[in-house]
């Protein structure tokens, strides 16, 4: 008797369809998590990522409701759709978590990041740095005879682009806050 020659997952009508309903494409997602403002909550959420080997690209946390003792954690992470769904489900099961929103999936949102850039230079490099800062609507928040500190607010891509342009002009140091995001509309 010969073995059956059936390819796994060749047809959606096959009894042997082993294809996942999810894509294997790695996507970037922004998660907004509303939690109780109490000691250890952030550690539990971050521990979930660390324990399962998920990467956090950006993390911001702040108290948003002083009277209600609520804080908001904004996390930017990457993964396949299946991994993102697993992350959301596992975060939602942590007791002090009130809500988990995937702003990437739920519709239009506004994302911003704040960065401070220290740029050292003299002469033409200094003039060029100020000219580029003006184009990027960067604010000069500190100035000495040998350096500037610029404040830039915008998308991650804008911050990255500004950093690349400042590198040859004497970029010394960059400090970034991480992404903050809010859903648009109601």
- Per-residue pLDDT tens for 128-140? 999 999 999 999 9
Same domain, 102 and 118: no
| The last residue of a domain, from among 106, 125, 145 | 106
Higher pLDDT, 17 or 134: 134
**Mean of the per-residue pLDDT values for the chain?**
90
Higher pLDDT, 177 or 16: 177
Average pLDDT over residues 107-129: 94
Whether residue 168 lies inside any domain: the answer is yes
Q: Give the model's confidence band at 163: pLDDT under 50 very low, under 70 low, under 90 confident, else very high.
A: very high
Whether residue 2 lies inside any domain: the answer is no
The two three-digit tokens of residue 157, written as one number:
């891509």
Average pLDDT over residues 147-152: 97
Q: Is 53 exposed, middle or buried (CB count within 10 Å of its CB: 0-12, 13-18, 19+)?
A: exposed
Same domain, 99 and 41: yes
Whether residue 16 lies inside any domain: the answer is no
**Measured CA angle at 177 (ends 174, 180), to 5 deg:** 145
R_g of the chain computed on alpha carbons: 23
Is a pLDDT exceeding 80 seen at residue 7? no
Is a pLDDT exceeding 90 seen at residue 22? no
Same domain, 123 and 174: yes
- Distance (Å, whole) CA 73 – CA 4: 53
Give tens-digit pLDDT for 29-77: 999 999 999 999 999 999 999 999 999 999 999 999 999 999 999 999 9
Number of domains forming the structure of the chain: 2
**Measured CA angle at 107 (ends 101, 113), to 5 deg:** 70
pLDDT of residue 124: 93
- CB-based contact 179:32 (threshold 8 Å): no
Q: Give the model's confidence band at 186: pLDDT under 50 very low, under 70 low, under 90 confident, else very high.
A: confident
Q: Which domain holds residue 141?
A: 109-183
Whether residue 117 lies inside any domain: the answer is yes
pLDDT of residue 173: 97
Task: Report the largest interatomic distance among the alpha carbons of the chain, rounded to a whole angstrom.
Answer: 88
DSSP annotation string for the chain: -PPP---TTS-TT-TT----SS----EEEEEEEEEE--TTHHHHHHHHHHHHT--EEEEEEEEEETTTTEEEEEEEEEE-HHHHHHHHHHHHTSTTEEEEEEHHHHS-EEEEEEEEEEEE--THHHHHHHHHHHHTT-EEEEE-SSEEEEEEEE-HHHHHHHHHHHGGGTEEEEEE---EEEE---
Share of the chain above pLDDT 90, in %: 82
Is a pLDDT exceeding 80 seen at residue 85? yes
Q: Give the model's confidence band at 24: pLDDT under 50 very low, under 70 low, under 90 confident, else very high.
A: confident
Is a pLDDT exceeding 80 seen at residue 14? no
Bridge partners, residue 16, by sequence: none
């Amino acid at each position: 008797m010969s073995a059956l020659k059936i390819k796994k997952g060749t047809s959606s009508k096959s009894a042997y369809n082993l294809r996942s309903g999810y894509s294997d494409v790695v996507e970037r997602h922004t998660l907004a998590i509303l939690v109780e403002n109490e000691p250890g909550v952030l550690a539990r959420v971050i521990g979930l990522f660390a324990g399962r080997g998920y990467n956090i690209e950006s993390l911001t946390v702040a108290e948003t409701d002083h009277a209600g003792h609520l804080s908001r954690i904004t996390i930017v992470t990457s993964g396949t759709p299946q991994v993102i769904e697993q992350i959301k489900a596992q975060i939602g099961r942590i007791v002090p978590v009130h809500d988990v929103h995937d702003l990437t999936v739920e519709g239009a949102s506004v994302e911003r990041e704040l960065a401070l850039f220290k740029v050292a230079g003299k002469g033409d490099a200094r003039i060029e740095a100020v000219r580029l800062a003006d184009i990027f609507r960067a604010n000069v928040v500190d100035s000495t005879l040998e350096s500037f500190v610029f404040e830039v607010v915008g998308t991650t891509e804008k911050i990255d682009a500004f950093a690349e342009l400042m590198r040859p002009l004497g970029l010394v140091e960059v400090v970034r806050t991480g992404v903050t995001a809010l859903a648009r509309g109601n």
